[in-house]
Amino acid sequence: MTQFTFDAPTVIRTKRDGGRLSDEAIDWVIDEYTRGGVGDEQMAALLMAIFLRGMDRGEIARWTAAMIASGEKMDFSDLRRSGRPLALVDKHSTGGVGDKITIPLIPVVAACGGAIPQAAGRGLGHTGGTLDKLESVSGFTAEISKDQIRQQLCEVGAAIFAAGQLAPADRKIYALRDITATTESLPLIASSIMSKKLAEGADALVLDVKVGSGAFLKSEAEAWDLARTMVGLGAAHGVPTRALLTDMACPLGRTVGNAVEVAESLEVLAGGGPADVVELTVALAREMVDLAGLDGKDPAQTLRDGTAMDSFRALVAAQGGDLDQPLPIGAHSETVIAPTGGTMGDIDALAVGHAVWRLGAGRASSGERVQHGAGLRIHRRPGEPVASGEALFTLYTDNPARIGPAMAELDGAWSVGDTSPAARPLIIDRIGTGLEQR
């Protein structure tokens, strides 16, 4: 049997110079990094080399498998509800601005009879994370045991948890990417998402792949390639996977941040909320319900009849959260006023994401605490009428020194004019259905 010996500088140099990483080199570097034998500085250099040089499909598949193998895989196939196996299905987004969709979506699908084992993430770069948002609910914890996850899947229909022992290599690499400007990489995004999702024990998966300035991959062609790669990884592991390609040129909804996004999600669960958030929640829920074989359930109805709200309350209570406590809001605020009347033009999602990150909603160093009350409210969305002197945006933070840099990020990110911006579809394509447009 051949013995392979590796060292980090050689692996880094291979990728830095545009070479291909062998299966053995990938297995070695992921395993050593997880166990601490390869240092953060070496992994950071390798991530930058991957960012600049890319990986082929074979390398991505092996990198994903090695990250799955770095931890345990969950298996819920023995669980039963009313004597029947659970309809285990999950969703993941590639990351956006104002993307709070997981929060209303999970209870909608649970109310339709699905069981959702959701391994969720924290903020990454300019995008928010479901865990940072939900932890703004007083008492809510995502650090729950495997036994509790199993119990919740049977009794509540969902559990939202920190990936923990699932793909621990991703947990370390994700945090490192966040502070080394190596997030916007197709191989790193695809392997990060699919390692967690394939380890968490869902039988089917729906992906929300973002396109536009607020997405990590900006062009439709790159997003399409990312979607195909992830759908392929799912299929290779026997997990039916579909993706929706959705617009992220403009933030989703009217709030961006942590607690403000939870508040907006509660509006959606109460049957109201912004039209785009409702549309995307229902579209993703329909894909999940369909893939899970939950015939006859209408996700939109669960928002109207309150059953999705009931599911959310049960989920949050099971994880220690108290929705009757007020959600935090930054102690300092600043409002952007319309200089003139007219129609709101496009709002640049990337600039808004950066502004909210500067307000304290995200991290600049690993392990930093986020401000749950930091965020931004969008009072006028693209195409809405604007009167001179009225509020367009309100910014919130606990640290007034953060307001200036956040306001600077918004410079040039919006406009008020005479005409409406060109309408864009929210849902651009469906991939993995055989009906995609290319």
Which residues contribute to the site for ligand URA (CB under 6 A)? Answer: 94-95, 121, 124, 174, 188-189, 192-193
Decide: 195 and 96 in contact? Cβ < 8 Å. no
377 is catalytic: no
Q: CB of residue 94 vs ligand URA: minimum separation in angstroms? A: 5
- C-alpha triplet 372, 208, 107: angle, nearest 5°: 60
196 is catalytic: yes
197 is catalytic: no
Nearer residue to ligand URA within complex by CB, 192 or 281:
192
Nearer residue to ligand URA within complex by CB, 95 or 345:
95
Q: CB of residue 93 vs ligand URA: minimum separation in angstroms? A: 7
Q: CB of residue 66 vs ligand URA: minimum separation in angstroms? A: 16
Query: Which residues are CB-contacts of 351 (< 8 A; sequence separation ≥ 6)?
Result: 213, 409, 410, 412, 413
Q: CB of residue 37 vs ligand URA: minimum separation in angstroms? A: 24
Q: CB of residue 347 vs ligand URA: minimum separation in angstroms? A: 22
Can you say whether the dihedral through the CA atoms of 345, 346, 350, 352 is positive or negative? Answer: positive
147 is catalytic: no
Decide: 210 and 232 in contact? Cβ < 8 Å. no
Q: CB of residue 188 vs ligand URA: minimum separation in angstroms? A: 6
Q: CB of residue 193 vs ligand URA: minimum separation in angstroms? A: 5
Output the residue with the shortest Cβ distance to ligand URA.
192
Nearer residue to ligand URA within complex by CB, 188 or 374:
188
Phi, psi at 262, each rounded to 5°: -65, -45
Residue of 185, 192, 195, 311 marked active site: 192
Q: Helices 57-69 and 220-236: crossing angle, nearest 10°?
A: 50
Query: Which residues are CB-contacts of 166 (< 8 A; sequence separation ≥ 6)?
Result: 71, 72, 73, 74, 119, 196, 199, 200
Q: CB of residue 398 vs ligand URA: minimum separation in angstroms? A: 26
Residue of 15, 62, 91, 92 marked active site: 92
Nearer residue to ligand URA within complex by CB, 219 or 325:
219
Nearer residue to ligand URA within complex by CB, 94 or 213:
94
Residue of 177, 197, 228, 380 marked active site: 177
Nearer residue to ligand URA within complex by CB, 149 or 189:
189
Nearer residue to ligand URA within complex by CB, 60 or 188:
188
332 is catalytic: no
Nearer residue to ligand URA within complex by CB, 166 or 189:
189
Residue of 15, 126, 196, 372 marked active site: 196
Any idea which residues carry the catalytic annotation?
Answer: 92, 170, 177, 192, 196
